[in-house]
Structure 1
Amino acid sequence: MAKWTAFPYAGEFDFDAERVKKNWARLHTGDLEPLPEDPRLLDAWAQFHSGKFHQACNSGLQLGLAGLNVANKATCMYATYLEKHEERRLALFLEAAQRAEHHISQEPDNVNAYYLHAYALGRYSQGISVAKALAQGMGNKIKTNLETVLKRQPHHPDAHIALGAFHAEVIDKVGSLIGAMAYGAHRDMGLNLLDQALKLHMASAAGMIEYARAMLMLDGETMLQEANRLYQQAACICPMDAQEKLDLELARAELAD
Protein backbone atom coordinates (compact mmCIF):
# COMPACT_ATOMS: atom_id res chain seq x y z
CA MET A 1 0.00 0.00 0.00
CA ALA A 2 1.21 3.51 -0.81
CA LYS A 3 2.36 5.64 2.09
CA TRP A 4 -0.38 7.84 3.52
CA THR A 5 0.17 11.59 3.42
CA ALA A 6 0.80 13.04 6.86
CA PHE A 7 -1.72 15.31 8.53
CA PRO A 8 -0.42 18.79 7.61
CA TYR A 9 -1.04 20.29 11.05
CA ALA A 10 0.89 17.71 13.07
CA GLY A 11 1.14 18.57 16.74
CA GLU A 12 -1.80 20.97 16.72
CA PHE A 13 -4.04 18.32 18.28
CA ASP A 14 -2.31 16.07 20.78
CA PHE A 15 -4.77 13.55 22.18
CA ASP A 16 -4.15 10.63 24.46
CA ALA A 17 -6.71 8.13 25.74
CA GLU A 18 -7.50 10.16 28.85
CA ARG A 19 -8.07 13.40 26.95
CA VAL A 20 -10.25 11.61 24.41
CA LYS A 21 -12.32 10.06 27.19
CA LYS A 22 -12.74 13.43 28.91
CA ASN A 23 -13.90 15.12 25.69
CA TRP A 24 -15.74 12.17 24.17
CA ALA A 25 -19.22 13.71 24.13
CA ARG A 26 -18.02 16.81 22.25
CA LEU A 27 -15.73 14.89 19.90
CA HIS A 28 -18.50 12.47 18.96
CA THR A 29 -21.49 14.81 18.85
CA GLY A 30 -21.69 14.08 15.12
CA ASP A 31 -21.59 10.30 15.03
CA LEU A 32 -22.80 9.38 18.56
CA GLU A 33 -20.18 6.62 18.75
CA PRO A 34 -20.44 4.95 22.18
CA LEU A 35 -17.57 5.59 24.57
CA PRO A 36 -15.36 2.47 24.49
CA GLU A 37 -14.13 0.76 27.62
CA ASP A 38 -11.10 -0.92 26.03
CA PRO A 39 -8.07 1.37 26.56
CA ARG A 40 -6.57 0.09 23.30
CA LEU A 41 -9.61 1.34 21.41
CA LEU A 42 -9.39 4.69 23.20
CA ASP A 43 -5.75 4.88 22.07
CA ALA A 44 -6.84 4.27 18.47
CA TRP A 45 -9.41 7.05 18.73
CA ALA A 46 -6.75 9.31 20.25
CA GLN A 47 -4.64 8.69 17.14
CA PHE A 48 -7.63 9.53 14.95
CA HIS A 49 -8.42 12.79 16.72
CA SER A 50 -4.74 13.78 16.62
CA GLY A 51 -4.66 13.36 12.82
CA LYS A 52 -2.64 10.14 12.84
CA PHE A 53 -5.07 8.51 10.46
CA HIS A 54 -2.87 5.67 9.22
CA GLN A 55 -1.93 4.69 12.77
CA ALA A 56 -5.57 4.88 13.84
CA CYS A 57 -6.60 2.63 10.96
CA ASN A 58 -3.94 0.05 11.73
CA SER A 59 -4.65 0.16 15.46
CA GLY A 60 -8.34 -0.33 14.82
CA LEU A 61 -7.81 -3.24 12.45
CA GLN A 62 -5.66 -5.01 15.05
CA LEU A 63 -8.66 -4.97 17.41
CA GLY A 64 -10.96 -6.88 15.06
CA LEU A 65 -14.66 -6.00 14.96
CA ALA A 66 -14.35 -3.64 17.94
CA GLY A 67 -11.92 -1.46 16.02
CA LEU A 68 -13.61 -1.37 12.63
CA ASN A 69 -15.45 1.91 13.17
CA VAL A 70 -12.29 3.82 14.03
CA ALA A 71 -10.37 2.08 11.23
CA ASN A 72 -13.05 2.88 8.67
CA LYS A 73 -13.57 6.44 9.84
CA ALA A 74 -9.82 7.10 9.75
CA THR A 75 -9.67 5.66 6.22
CA CYS A 76 -12.62 7.73 5.02
CA MET A 77 -11.41 10.99 6.54
CA TYR A 78 -7.91 10.49 5.17
CA ALA A 79 -9.21 9.62 1.68
CA THR A 80 -11.66 12.55 1.71
CA TYR A 81 -9.24 15.25 2.77
CA LEU A 82 -5.63 14.20 2.26
CA GLU A 83 -5.21 11.57 -0.47
CA LYS A 84 -4.52 13.34 -3.78
CA HIS A 85 -4.12 10.29 -6.04
CA GLU A 86 -7.59 9.50 -7.39
CA GLU A 87 -7.15 5.75 -7.86
CA ARG A 88 -5.84 5.38 -4.32
CA ARG A 89 -8.70 7.50 -2.96
CA LEU A 90 -11.26 5.27 -4.62
CA ALA A 91 -9.50 2.12 -3.47
CA LEU A 92 -9.50 3.35 0.12
CA PHE A 93 -13.21 4.14 0.02
CA LEU A 94 -13.94 0.69 -1.39
CA GLU A 95 -11.83 -0.97 1.31
CA ALA A 96 -13.71 0.92 4.01
CA ALA A 97 -17.07 0.09 2.42
CA GLN A 98 -16.22 -3.61 2.24
CA ARG A 99 -15.05 -3.71 5.85
CA ALA A 100 -18.18 -1.85 6.98
CA GLU A 101 -20.39 -4.26 5.05
CA HIS A 102 -18.67 -7.16 6.82
CA HIS A 103 -19.11 -5.31 10.12
CA ILE A 104 -22.86 -5.00 9.51
CA SER A 105 -23.09 -8.74 8.82
CA GLN A 106 -21.35 -9.52 12.11
CA GLU A 107 -22.84 -6.77 14.30
CA PRO A 108 -26.19 -5.78 12.78
CA ASP A 109 -26.97 -3.50 15.73
CA ASN A 110 -23.84 -1.37 15.28
CA VAL A 111 -25.36 1.85 13.96
CA ASN A 112 -22.12 3.47 12.81
CA ALA A 113 -21.24 0.43 10.71
CA TYR A 114 -24.24 1.37 8.54
CA TYR A 115 -23.27 5.03 8.57
CA LEU A 116 -19.66 4.38 7.57
CA HIS A 117 -20.74 1.97 4.84
CA ALA A 118 -22.99 4.68 3.41
CA TYR A 119 -20.32 7.37 3.81
CA ALA A 120 -17.63 5.33 2.06
CA LEU A 121 -19.97 4.37 -0.80
CA GLY A 122 -21.13 7.98 -1.11
CA ARG A 123 -17.59 9.32 -1.47
CA TYR A 124 -16.73 6.51 -3.86
CA SER A 125 -19.82 7.40 -5.91
CA GLN A 126 -18.72 11.01 -6.15
CA GLY A 127 -15.34 9.82 -7.40
CA ILE A 128 -16.67 7.64 -10.21
CA SER A 129 -19.58 10.08 -10.90
CA VAL A 130 -22.87 10.00 -9.06
CA ALA A 131 -24.80 9.10 -12.22
CA LYS A 132 -22.61 6.04 -12.81
CA ALA A 133 -22.91 4.99 -9.19
CA LEU A 134 -26.70 5.28 -9.32
CA ALA A 135 -26.75 3.09 -12.41
CA GLN A 136 -24.76 0.47 -10.47
CA GLY A 137 -27.33 0.45 -7.67
CA MET A 138 -25.22 2.19 -5.06
CA GLY A 139 -27.74 4.95 -4.46
CA ASN A 140 -30.34 2.69 -2.90
CA LYS A 141 -27.71 1.08 -0.65
CA ILE A 142 -26.55 4.49 0.58
CA LYS A 143 -30.08 5.72 1.19
CA THR A 144 -31.22 2.51 2.91
CA ASN A 145 -28.23 2.47 5.25
CA LEU A 146 -28.65 6.11 6.25
CA GLU A 147 -32.37 5.65 6.82
CA THR A 148 -31.51 2.64 9.00
CA VAL A 149 -29.22 4.84 11.08
CA LEU A 150 -31.89 7.52 11.55
CA LYS A 151 -34.56 4.95 12.38
CA ARG A 152 -32.36 3.61 15.19
CA GLN A 153 -30.75 6.90 16.22
CA PRO A 154 -33.05 9.75 15.14
CA HIS A 155 -30.67 12.38 16.51
CA HIS A 156 -27.56 11.25 14.57
CA PRO A 157 -26.26 14.54 13.06
CA ASP A 158 -23.78 13.01 10.61
CA ALA A 159 -26.43 10.70 9.14
CA HIS A 160 -28.72 13.72 8.66
CA ILE A 161 -25.87 15.47 6.80
CA ALA A 162 -25.09 12.49 4.59
CA LEU A 163 -28.73 11.76 3.73
CA GLY A 164 -29.45 15.43 3.04
CA ALA A 165 -26.43 15.57 0.74
CA PHE A 166 -27.63 12.38 -0.97
CA HIS A 167 -30.98 13.95 -1.85
CA ALA A 168 -29.25 17.03 -3.27
CA GLU A 169 -26.66 15.05 -5.25
CA VAL A 170 -29.27 12.78 -6.84
CA ILE A 171 -31.52 15.66 -7.88
CA ASP A 172 -28.53 17.59 -9.20
CA LYS A 173 -27.50 14.65 -11.40
CA VAL A 174 -30.79 13.14 -12.61
CA GLY A 175 -33.36 15.89 -11.99
CA SER A 176 -36.28 16.23 -9.61
CA LEU A 177 -38.71 13.93 -11.43
CA ILE A 178 -36.42 10.92 -11.91
CA GLY A 179 -34.80 11.58 -8.56
CA ALA A 180 -38.15 11.33 -6.82
CA MET A 181 -39.50 8.40 -8.83
CA ALA A 182 -36.38 6.21 -8.92
CA TYR A 183 -34.57 7.12 -5.71
CA GLY A 184 -37.07 8.87 -3.44
CA ALA A 185 -34.97 12.04 -3.55
CA HIS A 186 -36.73 15.33 -2.79
CA ARG A 187 -35.39 18.88 -2.60
CA ASP A 188 -37.23 19.93 0.54
CA MET A 189 -36.45 16.69 2.34
CA GLY A 190 -32.75 17.10 1.63
CA LEU A 191 -32.63 20.69 2.86
CA ASN A 192 -34.70 19.82 5.94
CA LEU A 193 -32.30 17.00 6.83
CA LEU A 194 -29.34 19.37 6.60
CA ASP A 195 -31.15 22.01 8.61
CA GLN A 196 -31.94 19.44 11.28
CA ALA A 197 -28.30 18.32 11.35
CA LEU A 198 -27.19 21.83 12.30
CA LYS A 199 -29.84 22.04 15.00
CA LEU A 200 -28.48 18.82 16.46
CA HIS A 201 -24.82 19.81 16.07
CA MET A 202 -24.51 23.58 15.78
CA ALA A 203 -20.69 23.48 15.62
CA SER A 204 -20.53 21.09 12.65
CA ALA A 205 -18.42 22.74 9.97
CA ALA A 206 -19.00 19.66 7.80
CA GLY A 207 -22.75 20.18 8.11
CA MET A 208 -22.44 23.84 7.12
CA ILE A 209 -20.32 22.95 4.09
CA GLU A 210 -22.70 20.25 2.86
CA TYR A 211 -25.71 22.50 3.45
CA ALA A 212 -24.07 25.25 1.39
CA ARG A 213 -23.24 22.82 -1.41
CA ALA A 214 -26.77 21.44 -1.41
CA MET A 215 -28.24 24.94 -1.68
CA LEU A 216 -26.06 25.69 -4.69
CA MET A 217 -26.85 22.35 -6.35
CA LEU A 218 -30.58 22.69 -5.84
CA ASP A 219 -31.17 26.43 -6.27
CA GLY A 220 -28.06 27.75 -7.99
CA GLU A 221 -26.96 31.38 -7.93
CA THR A 222 -30.04 32.50 -6.02
CA MET A 223 -28.57 30.88 -2.90
CA LEU A 224 -24.99 32.06 -3.36
CA GLN A 225 -25.18 34.64 -0.59
CA GLU A 226 -26.65 32.18 1.90
CA ALA A 227 -24.13 29.51 0.89
CA ASN A 228 -21.26 31.94 1.42
CA ARG A 229 -22.68 32.80 4.85
CA LEU A 230 -22.53 29.13 5.78
CA TYR A 231 -18.98 28.79 4.43
CA GLN A 232 -17.94 31.84 6.44
CA GLN A 233 -19.56 30.41 9.55
CA ALA A 234 -17.77 27.08 9.02
CA ALA A 235 -14.46 28.87 8.53
CA CYS A 236 -14.83 30.51 11.94
CA ILE A 237 -15.42 27.31 13.92
CA CYS A 238 -12.78 26.62 16.58
CA PRO A 239 -11.67 23.08 15.68
CA MET A 240 -11.64 20.47 18.42
CA ASP A 241 -9.63 17.85 16.56
CA ALA A 242 -7.89 17.00 13.29
CA GLN A 243 -11.08 16.27 11.36
CA GLU A 244 -12.65 19.58 12.34
CA LYS A 245 -9.44 21.36 11.35
CA LEU A 246 -9.66 19.81 7.88
CA ASP A 247 -13.32 20.85 7.63
CA LEU A 248 -12.37 24.41 8.58
CA GLU A 249 -9.63 24.54 5.92
CA LEU A 250 -12.06 23.16 3.34
CA ALA A 251 -14.52 25.95 4.18
CA ARG A 252 -11.77 28.51 3.75
CA ALA A 253 -10.88 27.01 0.38
CA GLU A 254 -14.50 27.20 -0.76
CA LEU A 255 -14.60 30.89 0.18
CA ALA A 256 -11.36 31.53 -1.70
CA ASP A 257 -12.87 29.96 -4.82
Structure 2
Amino acid sequence: MAKWTAFPQLGEYRHDAASVAREWHRLHAGDAEPLPPDPRVLQAWMLFHNGQFQDALEAGLAAGEAGLTVAVKAQCIYANYLEKKEKARLDLLLEAATRAEVQAVVHPDNPSAWYWQAYALGRYSQGISVARALAQGLGGKVKDALERTIALQPRHADAHVALGAFHAEVIDKVGTLIGGMTYGAKKETGLKMFQEALRLHPRSPVALIEYANGLVMLEGEKKMPEATRLYRQAAALQPLDAKERLEVDYARLELQG
Protein backbone atom coordinates (compact mmCIF):
# COMPACT_ATOMS: atom_id res chain seq x y z
CA MET A 1 0.00 0.00 0.00
CA ALA A 2 1.32 3.44 -0.94
CA LYS A 3 2.10 5.82 1.91
CA TRP A 4 -0.81 8.17 2.49
CA THR A 5 -0.50 11.92 2.83
CA ALA A 6 -0.28 12.79 6.52
CA PHE A 7 -3.02 14.68 8.32
CA PRO A 8 -1.63 18.25 8.41
CA GLN A 9 -2.18 18.74 12.15
CA LEU A 10 -0.87 15.31 13.17
CA GLY A 11 -0.17 15.34 16.91
CA GLU A 12 -2.70 18.05 17.68
CA TYR A 13 -5.33 15.50 18.71
CA ARG A 14 -4.07 13.11 21.38
CA HIS A 15 -6.98 10.84 22.21
CA ASP A 16 -6.21 7.57 23.95
CA ALA A 17 -8.51 4.56 24.24
CA ALA A 18 -9.90 5.80 27.56
CA SER A 19 -10.71 9.29 26.28
CA VAL A 20 -12.30 7.91 23.10
CA ALA A 21 -14.54 5.66 25.21
CA ARG A 22 -15.35 8.53 27.58
CA GLU A 23 -16.15 10.97 24.75
CA TRP A 24 -17.73 8.35 22.48
CA HIS A 25 -21.21 9.88 22.33
CA ARG A 26 -19.84 13.30 21.33
CA LEU A 27 -17.33 11.89 18.85
CA HIS A 28 -20.00 9.74 17.21
CA ALA A 29 -22.99 12.07 17.36
CA GLY A 30 -23.01 12.02 13.56
CA ASP A 31 -22.99 8.29 12.88
CA ALA A 32 -24.56 6.85 16.08
CA GLU A 33 -21.92 4.10 15.98
CA PRO A 34 -22.06 1.84 19.07
CA LEU A 35 -19.06 1.72 21.40
CA PRO A 36 -17.03 -1.36 20.37
CA PRO A 37 -16.36 -4.00 23.05
CA ASP A 38 -13.21 -5.21 21.26
CA PRO A 39 -10.14 -3.25 22.51
CA ARG A 40 -8.44 -3.71 19.11
CA VAL A 41 -11.31 -1.91 17.42
CA LEU A 42 -11.29 0.85 20.04
CA GLN A 43 -7.57 1.27 19.34
CA ALA A 44 -8.32 1.66 15.63
CA TRP A 45 -10.91 4.32 16.43
CA MET A 46 -8.36 6.14 18.58
CA LEU A 47 -6.01 6.25 15.59
CA PHE A 48 -8.85 7.54 13.41
CA HIS A 49 -9.83 10.34 15.77
CA ASN A 50 -6.18 11.42 16.04
CA GLY A 51 -5.86 11.68 12.25
CA GLN A 52 -3.72 8.57 11.72
CA PHE A 53 -5.99 7.43 8.94
CA GLN A 54 -3.76 4.85 7.26
CA ASP A 55 -2.89 3.31 10.63
CA ALA A 56 -6.61 3.24 11.49
CA LEU A 57 -7.38 1.45 8.23
CA GLU A 58 -4.70 -1.18 8.86
CA ALA A 59 -5.68 -1.65 12.52
CA GLY A 60 -9.35 -1.94 11.60
CA LEU A 61 -8.68 -4.55 8.92
CA ALA A 62 -6.43 -6.48 11.30
CA ALA A 63 -9.28 -6.64 13.84
CA GLY A 64 -11.46 -8.57 11.38
CA GLU A 65 -15.16 -7.98 10.73
CA ALA A 66 -15.59 -5.93 13.91
CA GLY A 67 -13.01 -3.42 12.66
CA LEU A 68 -14.34 -3.02 9.14
CA THR A 69 -16.43 0.09 9.82
CA VAL A 70 -13.52 2.10 11.22
CA ALA A 71 -11.29 0.87 8.39
CA VAL A 72 -13.75 1.96 5.69
CA LYS A 73 -14.48 5.27 7.41
CA ALA A 74 -10.77 6.06 7.65
CA GLN A 75 -10.32 5.26 3.96
CA CYS A 76 -13.30 7.41 2.92
CA ILE A 77 -12.35 10.44 5.01
CA TYR A 78 -8.76 10.27 3.84
CA ALA A 79 -9.79 9.95 0.19
CA ASN A 80 -12.24 12.82 0.41
CA TYR A 81 -10.04 15.35 2.19
CA LEU A 82 -6.38 14.44 1.85
CA GLU A 83 -5.64 12.37 -1.27
CA LYS A 84 -4.24 14.76 -3.88
CA LYS A 85 -4.19 12.46 -6.93
CA GLU A 86 -7.63 12.15 -8.48
CA LYS A 87 -7.19 8.62 -9.81
CA ALA A 88 -5.91 7.40 -6.45
CA ARG A 89 -8.80 9.14 -4.70
CA LEU A 90 -11.39 7.49 -6.94
CA ASP A 91 -9.70 4.09 -6.58
CA LEU A 92 -9.76 4.40 -2.79
CA LEU A 93 -13.45 5.31 -2.82
CA LEU A 94 -14.34 2.36 -5.06
CA GLU A 95 -12.35 0.00 -2.85
CA ALA A 96 -14.09 1.38 0.25
CA ALA A 97 -17.49 0.99 -1.42
CA THR A 98 -16.70 -2.64 -2.24
CA ARG A 99 -15.62 -3.36 1.33
CA ALA A 100 -18.78 -1.77 2.71
CA GLU A 101 -20.96 -3.60 0.20
CA VAL A 102 -19.52 -6.95 1.26
CA GLN A 103 -20.06 -5.97 4.89
CA ALA A 104 -23.71 -5.15 4.14
CA VAL A 105 -24.23 -8.55 2.52
CA VAL A 106 -22.83 -10.33 5.58
CA HIS A 107 -24.46 -7.98 8.11
CA PRO A 108 -27.53 -6.42 6.45
CA ASP A 109 -28.68 -5.04 9.80
CA ASN A 110 -25.54 -2.89 10.20
CA PRO A 111 -26.43 0.72 9.28
CA SER A 112 -22.77 1.72 8.94
CA ALA A 113 -22.21 -0.85 6.19
CA TRP A 114 -24.97 0.75 4.12
CA TYR A 115 -23.93 4.30 4.96
CA TRP A 116 -20.26 3.94 4.00
CA GLN A 117 -21.20 2.18 0.78
CA ALA A 118 -23.41 5.17 -0.05
CA TYR A 119 -20.81 7.73 1.07
CA ALA A 120 -18.02 6.18 -0.99
CA LEU A 121 -20.20 5.84 -4.10
CA GLY A 122 -21.56 9.36 -3.61
CA ARG A 123 -18.11 10.94 -3.44
CA TYR A 124 -16.99 8.79 -6.36
CA SER A 125 -20.01 10.03 -8.32
CA GLN A 126 -19.07 13.64 -7.65
CA GLY A 127 -15.58 12.86 -8.91
CA ILE A 128 -16.71 11.43 -12.25
CA SER A 129 -19.66 13.92 -12.49
CA VAL A 130 -23.08 13.36 -11.00
CA ALA A 131 -24.73 13.17 -14.44
CA ARG A 132 -22.40 10.38 -15.55
CA ALA A 133 -22.89 8.53 -12.27
CA LEU A 134 -26.66 8.72 -12.64
CA ALA A 135 -26.38 7.28 -16.14
CA GLN A 136 -24.41 4.36 -14.66
CA GLY A 137 -27.15 3.67 -12.13
CA LEU A 138 -25.13 4.74 -9.11
CA GLY A 139 -27.73 7.27 -7.99
CA GLY A 140 -30.33 4.65 -7.19
CA LYS A 141 -27.76 2.58 -5.33
CA VAL A 142 -26.73 5.56 -3.19
CA LYS A 143 -30.32 6.56 -2.43
CA ASP A 144 -31.36 3.02 -1.51
CA ALA A 145 -28.36 2.53 0.78
CA LEU A 146 -28.99 5.82 2.59
CA GLU A 147 -32.67 5.07 3.06
CA ARG A 148 -31.71 1.65 4.43
CA THR A 149 -29.26 3.33 6.83
CA ILE A 150 -31.93 5.65 8.22
CA ALA A 151 -34.48 2.84 8.51
CA LEU A 152 -31.97 0.85 10.59
CA GLN A 153 -30.72 3.83 12.62
CA PRO A 154 -33.05 6.88 12.57
CA ARG A 155 -30.52 8.89 14.61
CA HIS A 156 -27.81 8.61 11.95
CA ALA A 157 -27.37 12.34 11.32
CA ASP A 158 -24.70 11.87 8.65
CA ALA A 159 -27.03 9.67 6.59
CA HIS A 160 -29.67 12.43 6.70
CA VAL A 161 -27.02 14.88 5.47
CA ALA A 162 -26.00 12.59 2.62
CA LEU A 163 -29.58 11.88 1.57
CA GLY A 164 -30.32 15.60 1.56
CA ALA A 165 -27.25 16.13 -0.62
CA PHE A 166 -28.43 13.37 -2.97
CA HIS A 167 -31.79 15.08 -3.56
CA ALA A 168 -30.10 18.48 -4.02
CA GLU A 169 -27.39 17.22 -6.40
CA VAL A 170 -29.83 15.31 -8.61
CA ILE A 171 -32.25 18.23 -8.90
CA ASP A 172 -29.35 20.61 -9.55
CA LYS A 173 -27.94 18.43 -12.34
CA VAL A 174 -31.05 17.10 -14.13
CA GLY A 175 -33.87 19.39 -12.95
CA THR A 176 -36.91 18.97 -10.75
CA LEU A 177 -39.09 17.11 -13.25
CA ILE A 178 -36.60 14.48 -14.44
CA GLY A 179 -35.02 14.26 -11.00
CA GLY A 180 -38.37 13.51 -9.43
CA MET A 181 -39.73 11.15 -12.08
CA THR A 182 -36.54 9.19 -12.75
CA TYR A 183 -34.62 9.27 -9.48
CA GLY A 184 -37.24 10.12 -6.85
CA ALA A 185 -35.47 13.38 -5.94
CA LYS A 186 -37.63 16.01 -4.27
CA LYS A 187 -36.76 19.49 -3.07
CA GLU A 188 -38.93 19.22 0.04
CA THR A 189 -37.38 15.88 1.02
CA GLY A 190 -33.87 17.24 0.57
CA LEU A 191 -34.51 20.25 2.81
CA LYS A 192 -36.21 18.05 5.40
CA MET A 193 -33.19 15.72 5.51
CA PHE A 194 -30.76 18.59 6.15
CA GLN A 195 -33.00 20.03 8.86
CA GLU A 196 -33.35 16.66 10.59
CA ALA A 197 -29.58 16.16 10.47
CA LEU A 198 -29.03 19.44 12.29
CA ARG A 199 -31.73 18.61 14.82
CA LEU A 200 -29.91 15.35 15.58
CA HIS A 201 -26.42 16.90 15.56
CA PRO A 202 -26.57 20.73 15.77
CA ARG A 203 -22.78 21.21 15.91
CA SER A 204 -21.94 19.06 12.90
CA PRO A 205 -19.59 20.95 10.55
CA VAL A 206 -20.43 18.73 7.58
CA ALA A 207 -24.19 19.09 8.13
CA LEU A 208 -23.87 22.89 8.13
CA ILE A 209 -21.65 22.84 5.02
CA GLU A 210 -23.84 20.45 3.03
CA TYR A 211 -27.02 22.26 4.06
CA ALA A 212 -25.49 25.49 2.80
CA ASN A 213 -24.57 23.88 -0.53
CA GLY A 214 -27.97 22.22 -0.78
CA LEU A 215 -29.86 25.45 -0.15
CA VAL A 216 -28.16 27.12 -3.11
CA MET A 217 -28.72 24.10 -5.36
CA LEU A 218 -32.39 23.81 -4.40
CA GLU A 219 -33.36 27.47 -3.92
CA GLY A 220 -30.90 29.41 -6.05
CA GLU A 221 -28.67 32.42 -5.50
CA LYS A 222 -31.23 34.11 -3.25
CA LYS A 223 -30.10 31.69 -0.52
CA MET A 224 -26.44 32.75 -0.71
CA PRO A 225 -26.62 34.94 2.43
CA GLU A 226 -28.07 32.06 4.45
CA ALA A 227 -25.56 29.65 2.97
CA THR A 228 -22.72 31.99 3.94
CA ARG A 229 -24.12 32.20 7.47
CA LEU A 230 -24.10 28.40 7.71
CA TYR A 231 -20.51 28.25 6.44
CA ARG A 232 -19.49 30.81 9.06
CA GLN A 233 -21.22 28.75 11.72
CA ALA A 234 -19.28 25.66 10.60
CA ALA A 235 -16.00 27.59 10.49
CA ALA A 236 -16.50 28.83 14.07
CA LEU A 237 -16.87 25.36 15.56
CA GLN A 238 -14.19 23.86 17.81
CA PRO A 239 -13.29 20.48 16.28
CA LEU A 240 -13.35 17.41 18.53
CA ASP A 241 -11.07 15.28 16.34
CA ALA A 242 -9.15 15.13 13.07
CA LYS A 243 -12.21 14.51 10.90
CA GLU A 244 -14.01 17.56 12.27
CA ARG A 245 -10.82 19.60 11.87
CA LEU A 246 -10.75 18.74 8.16
CA GLU A 247 -14.40 19.79 7.82
CA VAL A 248 -13.97 23.05 9.75
CA ASP A 249 -10.83 23.92 7.78
CA TYR A 250 -12.73 23.24 4.56
CA ALA A 251 -15.43 25.72 5.63
CA ARG A 252 -12.81 28.34 6.54
CA LEU A 253 -11.05 27.90 3.19
CA GLU A 254 -14.31 28.26 1.24
CA LEU A 255 -15.12 31.50 3.08
CA GLN A 256 -11.70 32.90 2.16
CA GLY A 257 -12.26 32.06 -1.51
Q: TM-score, normalization: structure 1?
A: 0.99
Alignment of 1:114-193 (within 5 A): 114-193=114-193
1:160 CA drift (Å): 0.3
CA-to-partner distance for each residue in 1:31-88, whole Å, 9 max, x for gaps? 0111001111000000000000000001111112111100000000001110110000
Q: Determine if the alignment matches structure 1 residue 242 to structure 2 residue 222.
A: no
Separation in 1, partners of 2:88, 2:112: 24
Q: Could you tell me whether the CA contact under 8 Å between 2:110 and 2:152 is conserved in 1?
A: no
Separation in 1, partners of 2:251, 2:230: 9
Separation in 2, partners of 1:158, 1:177: 27
Separation in 1, partners of 2:187, 2:107: 33
1:96 corresponding residue in structure 2: 96
1:68 corresponding residue in structure 2: 68
2:2 corresponding residue in structure 1: 2
CA-to-partner distance for each residue in 1:170-192, whole Å, 9 max, x for gaps? 00111100000011001111011
1:33 corresponding residue in structure 2: 33
Q: Could you tell me whether the CA contact under 8 Å between 2:44 and 2:70 is conserved in 1?
A: yes
1:157 CA drift (Å): 0.3
Moved over 4 A (4+): none
Partner of 1:100, secondary structure, is: helix
Separation in 1, partners of 2:154, 2:34: 15
Separation in 2, partners of 1:125, 1:2: 24
Mean CA deviation greater in 171-180 or 213-222: 213-222
Alignment of 1:48-63 (within 5 A): 48-63=48-63
Partner of 1:217, secondary structure, is: helix
Unaligned runs of at least 5 residues, structure 1:
none
Separation in 2, partners of 1:87, 1:4: 14
Separation in 2, partners of 1:96, 1:171: 26
Separation in 1, partners of 2:160, 2:6: 30
Separation in 2, partners of 1:221, 1:166: 19
CA RMSD of aligned residues (A): 0.7
Q: TM-score, normalization: structure 2?
A: 0.99
1:220 CA drift (Å): 2.2
- Partner amino acid, structure 2, of 1:256: Q
- Partner amino acid, structure 2, of 1:87: K
- Partner amino acid, structure 2, of 1:232: R
Unaligned runs of at least 5 residues, structure 2:
none
Number of matched pairs: 257
Q: Could you tell me whether the CA contact under 8 Å between 2:161 and 2:193 is conserved in 1?
A: yes
1:134 CA drift (Å): 0.6
Partner of 2:220, secondary structure, is: helix
1:108 CA drift (Å): 1.1
Identity over aligned residues, as a percent?
A: 58
CA-to-partner distance for each residue in 1:76-130, whole Å, 9 max, x for gaps? 0001110110000000000000000000111111110000000000000000111
1:219 CA drift (Å): 2.0
1:199 corresponding residue in structure 2: 199
